Amino acid sequence: MSPVTTPQDFARLLAAPEGTRIEFKTAANDYTLSRLAEYCVALANEGGGHFILGVTDQRPRLVNGTNAFSEPGKIESHLFDRLRHRIPVEEYNHEGQRVLIIHVPARLPGTVWSLDGKYLKRAGESLVGMGDVELRDIFAETGPDFTAEACPAGLDALDPALIAEFRHRWARKARNPRFEQLSDLEVLTNADLLTDGRPNYAALILLGTRSALTRHLAQAEIVFEYRSSEASGPAQDREEYRAGFLGLHEALWQKINLRNDRQSYQEDFFRYDIPTFDEVAVREALLNAVAHRDYRLGGSIFIRQYARRLEVVSPGGFPPGITSENIADQQNPRNRRLAETLARAGLVERAGQGLNLMIENAIKQTKPLPSFAGSAAHEVRLTLAGTVQNPAFIRFLQRLGDERLASLTTYDYLALDALQRDCSQPLLPDLADRLPGLIELGAVERQGRGAGIRYLLSRELYATLGQAGTYTRRKGLDHETNKALLEKHVGGSGEVGAPMAELVQVLPALSRTQIKRLMDELAFSGRVHLRGVTRNSRWFSAPVPKPPIGPLAQNQ
């Protein structure tokens, strides 16, 4: 959830000495994005803190305000693109002066933030690189990396064909064809896959032979099961995979794809054939399970495929500091050497944003979001649901165009997804922060003013969905419907009248201010009237006009 700074919080920040995880910059007119990213890295490595623009750094501090970074949402996106961490940026108003507060989270145990290969920290007014001793101490915080330990096996435990595949992938990823000329021993040495002259467990997991894995790390296997129904009993198809993962990942995808049916939809002249199981999402789920499972536990990774969902269950809970709530924003690889090797092979990014890809692809295909329901201390359970729910939304996203879609963050997609599912519900703060950028993009429209502001997917979207009438109803008719409901309730209250507390219960989704505005409109049109003041006030139906008498009646 995005932080919200109170006046008391801001006063404490102003009083705190600079250097204690707080950094102030005057930045009256501008500040560089690259320098901001560097300070975020340094603060995160020191335990997190606040980077504040628009305040002088000398005490007593003066709040002069800043014009830097006029769109905080874009700055959040830029920082995420550079650092692969979500860093909230808050606009704060102090006595008419605009202040930017960048809330930098702390690094997770055993991890270090970096920028362009530099592990930064603050040193007085400067930023410097962290030393080897500091880095070793940090990496040791969560205990030794099991996959960096030497295994009791010789080089013959590794498959020469998989070493050749790794060499080719590494040369392509590094864009260095000279890697292709390295010997097997040079490849293993340069990739840190040897420890004390022997293969480490990272090498065994990725490049090992079946016999070596069976002898030294039998739990490094993946069990596939296909079940055509939810009924208990033997699976219709079951296969155990135990070999170096570099030689398995393609076979695993092909196995899943054998029963990967296509969901076909017709929208006007457009026809969509959408696979139930998206290849990118499935591959990322498998890679995450292999990279982050606890190899000290004896269980295997299980892949269970059903007609409309895929479950990936891996031994060991989430790594330290990771939860199902922050897993999209934070990374803490349990098996660092293994993750680094997968990155060298071009299978994953070291920052590890596999879940973000799964989320974005699910929204693009209007499928349910990936779920970690059922995860526990002893296992992580990831479910990918495959049912397409709203194919017309796919067409709208396509109409936005590749260039605009490429500018969206995971939270932009989540905000659009929430609005297309139910625009009547308020968005969570993290998603509401994305609305200004989505309005500028033309994907979202704003309705109303002040406390009555609502956000809808754009008219262009509803036209695409063939639901222009829905747009009209949500934007216009809802207003009149709400007034009619309030008027009906007041009419049923008779001579007792209806207090505001009752009217709030009639439309619980609206604030008191919004309801008061609707009642004022009804009063202006003569349909209701208010008696009393403050808490004793009540609303009554307008009296029915009496028939005219005397000369006026005769004139009629």
When pLDDT is averaged across residues 173-200 and rounded to a whole number, the result is: 95
User: Which sequence spans correspond to the domains of the chain?
Assistant: 7-139, 148-385, 393-466, 492-541
Under 8 Å between Cβ of 341 and 291: no
393-466 adopts what CATH topology? Arc Repressor Mutant, subunit A (1.10.10)
pLDDT digits (tens, 9 = 90+) for 108-121: 887 889 988 889 99
Per the structure block, which two tokens stand in for 221?
A: 């296997």
- Residue 298 to residue 433: CA distance in whole angstroms: 44
Tens digits of per-residue pLDDT, 206-257? Answer: 999 999 999 999 999 999 999 988 777 788 899 999 999 999 999 999 999 9
What's the whole-number mean pLDDT along residues 529-545?
A: 82
Question: Does residue 467 surpass a pLDDT of 60?
Answer: no
Which one is predicted more confidently, 481 or 180?
180
Asked if 7-139 and 393-466 have one fold, the answer is no
pLDDT at 22 over 70: yes
Domain made up of 148-385: CATH architecture: 2-Layer Sandwich (3.30)
DSSP letters spanning 463-518:
HHTT-HHHHHIIIIIHHHHHHHHHHHHHHHTTTT-B-HHHHHHHSTTS-HHHHHHH
pLDDT at 470: 46
pLDDT score at 263: 86
Q: pLDDT tens digits, residue range 345-383?
A: 998 764 446 888 999 999 999 999 999 999 998 999 999
Phi, psi of 313 (to 5 degrees): -115, 125
Kindly state the helix (H) or strand (E) to which residue 267 belongs, with its residue range.
strand 262-267
CATH topology of domain 7-139: 3.30.950
Q: How confident is the model at residue 554 (pLDDT cuts 50, 70, 90)?
A: very low
Please provide the average confidence, as pLDDT, over all residues in the chain: 86
DSSP string, 273-286: EEESS-HHHHHHHH
User: Is the confidence at residue 497, as pLDDT, over 50?
Assistant: yes
DSSP annotation string for 30-65: ---HHHHHHHHHHHHHTT-EEEEESB-SSSSP-B--
Averaged pLDDT, 288-307: 93
For 336, list phi and psi in degrees, rounded to 5: -60, -45
| Long-range pairs for 193-198: beta carbons < 8 A, 24 or more residues apart | 193/337, 193/341, 194/150, 195/148, 195/149, 195/150, 196/150, 197/150, 198/150, 198/151, 198/152, 198/153, 198/154
SS3 20: coil
Structure token digits, residue 122: 């603050």
In the CATH scheme, what is the code of domain 492-541? 1.10.10
Highest mean pLDDT out of 24-38, 329-343, 382-396, 469-483: 24-38
Is the pLDDT confidence value at 14 over 60? yes
> Tens of pLDDT along 377-427?
899 999 999 999 888 788 878 878 788 888 888 889 999 999 888 767 778
SS3 200: strand
